[in-house]
Structure 1
């Protein structure tokens, strides 16, 4: 029983780590795009710069999500192996 409690504690600690991994990619805020033609003319350079930065940020965001997906996938594989080991130990104690 003590081993099972240790396994649960171990899995809880790992899940806290995954919560921090999963929350680190933040989507970029969309830039302001005016609909008024006079505003477009007045802010053309700023709008262009903001849009270009937005698309750069979007690419970084997607790369971050891809990286997190790989990390979490690997973590899930490791936890699956650990859980299989725990189940074997539990089954061995029952016999």
Structure 2
């Protein structure tokens, strides 16, 4: 049995924000690319939040199980006193 910090596989990496030019001529010239990059980014952000929600659920369940195990350990120690 090991007591210490353990991590759940952290696969949630935040997306990198796309570059959005300030120059109006550049915006017009690259409008299709900018739209595609922005839409991809928004999709990636939603996926990132879903991933974080799933990790939170997993860690919550893990913490619940550890709490129950720890309560059992404390019960054994109390009965030995």
RMSD: 1.3
**TM-score, normalising length from structure 1?**
0.78
| Partner deviation per Cα, 1:20-50 (whole Å, 9 max, x = no partner) | 43x3211100010110001101111110000
Q: Which runs of 5+ in 2 are unaligned?
A: none
Q: Which runs of 5+ in 1 are unaligned?
A: 1-5
Task: Give the alignment partner of residue 39 of structure 1, picking from 16, 19, 26.
Answer: 26
SS at match of 2:61: helix
Task: Give the alignment partner of residue 57 of structure 1, picking from 21, 40, 44.
Answer: 44
Q: Which has a greater percent of helix?
A: 1
Q: Which runs of 4+ in 1 moved over 6 A?
A: none
**TM-score, normalising length from structure 2?**
0.90
CA distance in structure 2 between the aligned counterparts of 1:72 and 1:62, rounded to whole angstroms: 15
